[in-house]
Amino acid sequence: MEPRKRPSWRALTPGQRALLQRMRREGALVSVRPWEMSTVRSLLARGLLRPRIRGRERGREGIWFLTALGVRIVPDPSEAASESDLEKDEAAGAP
């Protein structure tokens, strides 16, 4: 079995990125829309999502959760805003 590569944010599709960002914002998915299931399966295969573990998470709502890797890979909105500000400053020629 070959080792699993760590996925990068840029390698994800726009749909995968949107779902991960939504989960970081709102928490675990309580239900999955039919058109989101293929995205959930692809993120599950990449190790970015996990299903609810029976008996362990009885008090928590949701059926799909972000893994630790999933949390790390999703950029923090406040960091993304500061990075885009830096890029704008560099493009404008600010020191």
Q: Cα separation of 63 and 71, whole Å?
A: 16
Higher pLDDT, 72 or 1: 72
Asked whether residue 4 is assigned to any structural domain, the reply reads: no
**Tens digit of pLDDT for each residue in 29-72?**
888 889 899 999 999 999 999 988 776 656 667 889 999 999 99
The one-letter amino acid at 83: E
CATH code of the domain in which 78 resides: 1.10.10
Q: Is the pTM of this model over 0.85?
A: no
State how far the Cα of 6 lies from the Cα of 72, in Å rounded to an integer.
11
Whole domain around residue 43: which residue ranges?
A: 9-92
Contact 73, 9 (CB under 8 A): yes
